[in-house]
A and B are shown apart, each in its own frame.
Chain A
Amino acid sequence: MSKASIEVPRFAVVGRVNKGKSSVIASFIENDAVKISPWPGTTTECVRYDVEVDERVLFSVIDTPGFEDAPRALHWIKQREATAADRAQRVREFVDAFEGTDEFVEERRLLRPILEGAAILYVVNGDEPYRKNYETEMEILRYTGEPAMALINRSGSEAYIESWQRALNQYFKLVMLFDAHAVTWDKRRRLLEAFATLHPSWEGPIREAVVALRAQEARRHYQVANIIADMLVDALTLHLTAGLPDERALPHEKPRLERQFHDELRSIERRAHQKIATVYLHRLDGWSPEADIELESRDDLFAKETWDVMGLSPRALLTLTVVTGAAAGGAIDAAVGFASALTGTLIGGLSGLGVGVYELTRRYARASQIAEQAKSMMKPSEHGYRIRVGPHPSLNFPFVLLARALSHFDRVRAWAHARQELPPPTATGPKILDQVDVDTRKRFTKTFSTIRKKYRDVPREARSELRETVHRIVVEHTQPRERDVGEGPHAT
């Protein structure tokens, strides 16, 4: 073993089979690739997970098979024990003695990384009563002489925690509660900080990892705010246009158009929620919120699309643009264009005509295919009546979207990687928006209405204002809880 690799802190996660070792790792390093199942013997080989920050390994955790026959193993070791000084050597002999046999397969596999210098992270299930046979495992681990700490997993029921703590304190200098299914970033950070205390020379890399994780968490908050802000802009500016043969067709088409519009809104929300999950390295493909957002049916969702800007029909406007566009034929034409601009035409251009052309091209500009957009614009005049659905006129609806997104964020944040499914909504999530002060609310109302008003072309300031305000809420929500909640490592 080279010196360099010894300096990378390594932690072997060990314990009885099926007590959640793999789950602890999955949640701790946010990795969905760790195999977890209710069936014993899922983990058959040691798997090392290197946690890298910017291409440098800062520490590794090793998933191991569980202890399956510890009393007999300890019996073997004890029979050969001479003095306490020999114990590590005896464990080594134990590992070597059964090499090539099918005896103590799991024990040998799990002990090897420890004998190579990994620190011990012993995992027990706090929901089960303590039994004295666990002492055989702890004893063997103690024999290796490597630094060790214990984690009480699950701890859903308080009933057995105390007896576990008393027992574990006998063997480990550090005992922590770490519920693999309820791991937040804060718990992960605490565990990492506890690691640093196990070995003095590991402090450096662990501290670096903590700093990186902190930065990562801050970036995630930032990213979530961006996603939510983008979603709000998309939802507030959403509008569909449809050509109808006649005005009288509208009442019959309204429900269909409205449904289409609402579906589109919901899918904007769904995509944003799915994206928030990816920030936390989760996948929610094919998922949609359990309860759909409620969207009221309103008449003012519909508006007659007015194409006649400054009294010019769409056809006239289009012809104008095409004429100016056709001038692209050559430099001479361009010259003619400018020459005419030099004289009076230009002054005329300042009045209605110019504004009209501007309006029209601005509409074009929303599509990537200018020509196609132009063609589709020709249609309404054939159809006779063109209706616009949206943007959604309700003042309340962006707030509902925002509240739901924040709640979803809280839920995703609480989603430990050991869990396959998104956990139910948190208690705090739905209240995040309620705690926002009046000033911020007012600011939101203003920004929302600006965006809705300028739905064709949302100004930069409105976008960044929204992003900043949402980000502030996200940060304010995540910070206080990180300070007051949670128990530190139990040192004895």
Chain B
Amino acid sequence: MTISERDAEQGRFGLAELIDFELQLASDRARPYQELLERDRQIALRWRAQPKTPQQMVAHWVAALRRDEGAPTAGEKVARAHGLANLLVFLSFALIGVGVALAVLQFTGDHPINVLVVLGVFVVLQLINLLVTVAAFLWSRFSPGFLQQFPIVAVLRRLIARLVGPDHAGRFWARRSLYGGVERWIWFRTMQLGALAFNIGAIVTFMAAVSFTDLAFAWSTTLRVEAQSLERFCAALALPWRGWLPEAVPSLELIDATQYFRFDAAYVRAPPGMRVRDAAVAGGWWPFLLMCLLVYGLLPRLLLVMWASWGAMRSLRRLPLDTPEEAEVIARLTTPWVHNVHGEDPGSVAPLGRGRAPLPQPAPLGNDQEAIVVRWRDAEIDPDRFVERVRQRLGAAVEAPIADAGGRDHVEEQALLARLEASQQQPMLVVVEPWNAPDRGFERFVRYVRQRSHRQRKIYVLLTEGGDAQQHAVWAGYLAELADPYIAMGEA
């Protein structure tokens, strides 16, 4: 089991899962719905423990589909690219931190380092930056994608898009409104991670400089600032640690002693007898500066990175997953899959009578003929009217009694067969109800008549009223299949 599988087993729903989820939705759009039903329900049936939240369920689902795929998925690629981008950001900003610290702490021995510049760069500018990024982050809640205006985010987006292909990235970004809440946390975290690295680089450099070189600090400004004001300012900055780390609070004496005029290249109010470049005095600034870097640079960024990580995780976990497409997946996973399993139906739906000679209409029989009338399967007729019609239409009389075949009592049919056998050539009129489709019983009856009596006996199949064209066609087709030239079909 790989780490990502194990995570998914625990219902982890991270950036990779989110992206894979989105891509899966996109590719499922083209698949037949029934196929999805089967696939997803089978995934759900294989779960050992039922996931509880929709996010867990989706994570399990994505993990199962990934398992089927094998190769790293786009989501994993994006997550990896994003991790790599974070690392790059971290390293390069650590380097920048080192570079900026080196530049600020440049101490050639000609002039001491201006404490105000250090504070300006590492405290004031950083605090401004912090406020701006936090404000932008808060604003991005109302305007998804707002963070993108930060060059770093724009750059990273390009970088990630290049790593995973614009197709994958674009598809994700196209649905920003769905995941904007997650995205802003992720970018915010990256930004703060860079700032954190910047501070680490700066602090390490500062410590190295303090340890391995002798730094001299001073303060100078073009403005008219009294030592007392600076002392108050420093005391205010040192408020958080004054109580427990008094060494890191610059004393008024130190401040007073380290005011510096570049013009004179000299500490103005250095006590008599003290050499201007007395490192012990000038270096007295560093614990204060270090604490400023730690408390106003590193600490807030650390807290922000932690907050952003937590926020990113929470926003992923809390994604409502309630848009139609998302809800759909959950429904497929949670409802039973009802389906049929069966063999092929070998039956044929081909029409009958195709390619056969059409059935003739019943021809008049002539006066000398007495026809035998058979009611097939209890066909209902009015005997008197029927006899009359036969006489009119076919010019024939009806031999009494009217017989039955295919009816409830098979004995009647047997009796009829005996009568037919005796008569040989006498025409037979079979009255059928058109809705009663012809069947093997009928076919057998006709075959029997043919076998037992004269092969040229006229058989007229007469359909009663009430059938529709379809039913007539069925009878015509069926009779045509018999390919018997002495069978005709007409109306009763």
Contact = CB atoms under 8 A, between A and B. Distances in A.
Interface of A: 16-18, 29-31, 33-45, 47-55, 57, 63, 66, 68-72, 74-75, 105-106, 125, 127-129, 131-133, 135-136, 209, 211-213, 215-216, 218-219, 222-223, 225-227, 229-230, 275, 278-279, 281, 321, 324-325, 327-328, 331-335, 337-343, 345-347, 349-350, 353-355, 357-358, 361-362, 364-371, 454, 457-460, 463-464, 466-467
Contact of B91 (A37, A54, A331, A338): A331
B340 A49 contact: yes
B325 A54 contact: no
What's the dominant secondary structure at chain A's contact region? Answer: helix
A341 B347 CA distance: 77
A369 B167 contact: yes
Interface in B444-478: 444, 470, 473-474, 477-478
Contacts of B320: 460, 464
B346 A45 contact: yes
B410 A63 contact: no
A103 B340 CA distance: 33
A225 B438 CA distance: 47
B470 A226 contact: no
B155 A334 contact: yes
B210 to A, nearest CB: 24
A102 B164 CA distance: 69
B342 A47 contact: yes
Given A341-B150, A342-B129, A369-B166, A38 B96 contact: no
A371 B170 CA distance: 10
A365 B169 CA distance: 9
Interface string B139-177: 000011110111110111011011000110111011011
Given A327-B155, A337-B152, A106 B377 contact: no
B366 interface: no
A66 B439 contact: yes
Interface string B203-218: 0000000000000000
B161 to A, nearest CB: 7
B439 A75 contact: no
Contact of B435 (A41, A44, A125): A125
Contacts of A63: 345
Given A223-B331, A341-B152, A350-B136, A335 B407 contact: no
A35 B347 contact: yes
Contacts of A131: 377-378, 380, 433, 436
Nearest to B151: A337
Nearest to A65: B347
Contacts of B167: 368-369
A463 B175 CA distance: 12
A329 B178 CA distance: 30
A274 B178 CA distance: 27
22 contacts: A16-B439, A35-B348, A39-B474, A42-B348, A43-B345, A43-B347, A48-B342, A52-B338, A52-B341, A136-B408, A216-B335, A216-B336, A223-B328, A278-B34, A335-B95, A341-B129, A362-B145, A365-B170, A370-B169, A370-B170, A454-B177, A457-B144
Given A55-B45, A133-B407, A347-B132, A212 B151 contact: no
B441 interface: yes
B386 interface: no
B189 interface: no
Contacts of B474: 18, 38-40
Given A39-B477, A361-B148, A74 B327 contact: no
Contacts of B45: 54-55
Nearest to A459: B177
A458 B173 CA distance: 13
Given A361-B148, A371-B166, 11 more contacts: A35-B347, A49-B340, A68-B440, A128-B435, A325-B158, A346-B129, A358-B146, A364-B173, A368-B166, A459-B177, A467-B322
B413 interface: yes
B293 to A, nearest CB: 15
B478 A40 contact: yes
Name the residue among A18, A71, A464 with the largest chain B CB count within 10 angstroms: A71
A165 B115 CA distance: 106
Contact of B444 (A29, A69, A354, A457): A69
Contact of B408 (A42, A132, A364): A132
A213 B345 contact: no
B338 to A, nearest CB: 5
B340 A50 contact: yes
B444 A367 contact: no
B402 interface: no
Contacts of A370: 161, 166, 169-170
Contacts of A454: 177
Given A75-B410, A367-B170, A324 B155 contact: yes
B244 interface: no
Contact of A42 (B144, B336, B349, B440): B349
A53 B132 CA distance: 58
A342 B125 contact: yes
A63 B408 CA distance: 25
Contact of A229 (B158, B324, B408): B324
Contact of B159 (A30, A31, A39, A328): A328
B177 A458 contact: yes
A219 B149 contact: no
Contacts of A33: 340, 342, 344-345
B343 interface: yes
Contacts of B92: 331-332, 334-335
B149 A71 contact: no
B174 A368 contact: yes
Contacts of B337: 53-55
Nearest to A130: B378
B133 to A, nearest CB: 8
B123 interface: no
A135 B275 CA distance: 130
A458 to B, nearest CB: 6
A467 B323 contact: yes
A135 B408 contact: yes
A275 B344 CA distance: 26
A457 B441 contact: no
Contacts of B478: 40
A429 B264 CA distance: 95
B491 to A, nearest CB: 18
A183 B327 CA distance: 29
A398 B264 CA distance: 81
A325 to B, nearest CB: 5
Contacts of A44: 346-348
A463 B145 contact: no
A66 B166 CA distance: 62
A263 to B, nearest CB: 21
